Amino acid sequence: MVREINKHWKEPRVCPVCHQNNWAVSAEIVRLWTARLKNAYPCVNMVCQNCGHTMLFNAAILNLLPEGKS
């Protein structure tokens, strides 16, 4: 997952909140549900280990989903 994100995320890869560069990337794809729970976006989440700011990358766009999943 990190490799796919780094292809798109240009340096410096610093946190927009605290300007540190200390990220943790989720080991699994997470789901971001719409308010009415009718749809969920598959995402990779990255969490700044200094301030907790979280960024989401769409896993479908990064081609990280198994065939036929969205």
| Contact footprint for Zn ion (CB under 5 A) | 15, 17-18, 48, 50-51, 53
Distance CA 34, CA 25 (A): 22
Distance, in Å, from the CA atom of 29 to the CA atom of 25, rounded to the nearest integer, reads: 10
Q: Which two tokens stand for residue 19?
A: 């300007």
The nearer residue to Zn ion, 47 or 65, going by C-beta atoms, is: 47
Indicate the residue among 19 and 31 with the shorter CB distance to Zn ion.
19
> Which residue type, as a one-letter code, is found at position 60?
A
